[in-house]
């Protein structure tokens, strides 16, 4: 599965680069890639600080900040996806900045891990 991702994702990204480059030209395409990296950095900083504040508040209440840690992990993945050049990875990264999607993806992963543990 991992090998498939390492092969498929670059092929998909190259195909999208060719399409977008054909429509917009090379410089606007490169500009979009740089712009998404900058937006990703700003979103990561903003949402990351918010999540860190919530984690600290949970710790101050004596609670384990499990949800905040999960959100933080997904924010890290989202930021890395946005910093990775490509439109498909940018879309995935942007989607992970939406809290409801992070919760859904986290639930799916947790469900699969539990099912795998029971097998």
Tens of each residue's pLDDT in the chain, 119 residues: 788 888 999 999 999 999 999 999 999 999 999 998 898 889 888 888 888 898 899 899 998 888 888 888 899 899 889 888 899 999 999 999 898 998 899 889 888 988 988 87
Tokens of residue 106, six digits = 């986290």
**pTM of this structure:** 0.81
Domain residue ranges in the chain: 32-118
Residues 63, 76: Cα–Cα separation, whole Å: 22
């Amino acid at each position: 599965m991992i090998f498939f991702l390492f092969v498929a994702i670059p092929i998909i990204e190259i195909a999208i680069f060719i399409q977008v480059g054909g429509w917009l030209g090379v410089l606007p395409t490169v500009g979009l890639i740089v712009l998404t990296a900058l937006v990703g950095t700003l979103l990561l900083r903003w949402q990351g600080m918010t999540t860190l504040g919530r984690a600290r508040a949970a710790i101050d209440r004596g609670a384990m900040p499990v949800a905040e840690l999960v959100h933080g992990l997904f924010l890290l993945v989202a930021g890395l996806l946005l910093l990775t050049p490509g439109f498909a990875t940018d879309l995935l990264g942007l989607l992970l900045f939406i809290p409801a999607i992070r919760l859904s993806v986290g639930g799916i992963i947790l469900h699969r891990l539990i099912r795998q543990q029971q097998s």
